[in-house]
Amino acid sequence: MSTEPLRCTGALIVDDDGRIFFQRRSAERRLFPNAWDVVGGHLEPGESVEDALRREVTEETGWTVSVVLGPVGTYRYTGDDGLERLETDFLVRVDGDLSRPRLEVGKHTEFRWLAEHEVAVLDECRDVNDGLIRRIAEDGFAALHLIGL
């Protein structure tokens, strides 16, 4: 059995108002049930981080990545399943109707665009992710400021 962490990637999708897109995971999800999350997931065998990023955005929202604005950070965590993960997240812009994402049925139940002052919403299920999603959001907004958006 491999001791390497599972590789994941995440997209912090940014709109023209500088808000970031979040979606709520369904209550049936094993990892972070009912919690807010960024778009993303595990890399498939042989897949690059950027290819996985683009695939996950399309699968989870129906949108297409138009621009990768830059990195947000890399996060190491252990899920409820006991598996260690290494997640690399990026700020991205997408093409598509931003008011109508196509959420994956059974995986996500709702979405929100959050401004920086609204990140406390992400603490609703802090107990299931130890504040990870809020830290990622705060890092995302800090990265937005660094690139002047």
For residue 83, give both structure tokens.
């598996």
The answer to whether the Cα torsion of 27, 25, 29, 103 is positive or negative is positive
> How far is Cα 50 from Cα 92, in angstroms, rounded to an integer?
11
The reported pLDDT for the residue numbered 128 is 67
pLDDT tens for each residue of 78-133: 887 889 999 999 999 999 999 999 999 899 999 999 999 999 999 987 776 788 99
Q: What class, spelled out in words, does domain 6-146 have in CATH?
A: alpha beta
Domain ranges in the chain are 6-146
